[in-house]
Amino acid sequence: DAKTTQPPSMDCAEGRAANLPCNHSTISGNEYVYWYRQIHSQGPQYIIHGLKNNETNEMASLIITEDRKSSTLILPHATLRDTAVYYCIVRARQNFVFGPGTRLSVLP
């Protein structure tokens, strides 16, 4: 599976959009981009995934560049409860590999 690169930490003001970037320059054509988050010490929680089209659900939007070498997770109106570590994972059919992720702090 392709490797991903994420910034170690980010801050976002409450009520503003949080844009979390992820680079995956070695992604293969059959690999999906997944996003999970981990709040405090809980188990990771699924957010969204996509292949090449942009995706949106009730939690977030996923924007994937046309060349698929990077993506951005967007939380449109961040709340304090969105403070968590966010993991970007690229995989096809192998098991998930969770890197260190991005620690997002939503500030009041």
Partner 1 sequence: NAGVTQTPKFRILKIGQSMTLQCTQDMNHNYMYWYRQDPGMGLKLIYYSVGAGITDKGEVPNGYNVSRSTTEDFPLRLELAAPSQTSVYFCASSYSTWAGGANGYTFGSGTRLTVV
Binding site for partner 1 (CB under 8 A): 30-32, 34, 36, 41-46, 49, 87, 91-101
From the CB of 108, what's the least distance to partner 1, in Å? 24
For 53-78, give the secondary structure using H, E and C: CCEECCCCEEEECCCCCEEEEEECCC
CA 16 – CA 13 distance, rounded (Å): 6
In the complex, the smallest distance separating the C-beta of residue 96 from partner 1, rounded to whole angstroms, is 6
State the nearest-atom distance from the C-beta of 46 to partner 1, in Å.
5
User: Which residues contact residue 28 at a Cβ distance below 8 angstroms, ignoring those fewer than 6 apart?
Assistant: 2, 92
Burial group, residue 101, by CB count within 10 angstroms (0-12, 13-18, 19+): buried
User: Please, what is the minimum distance in Å from the beta carbon of residue 18 to partner 1?
Assistant: 20
Nearer to partner 1, 91 or 106 (CB): 91
Report which of 86, 90, 83 is spatially closest to residue 100, judged by C-alpha positions: 86
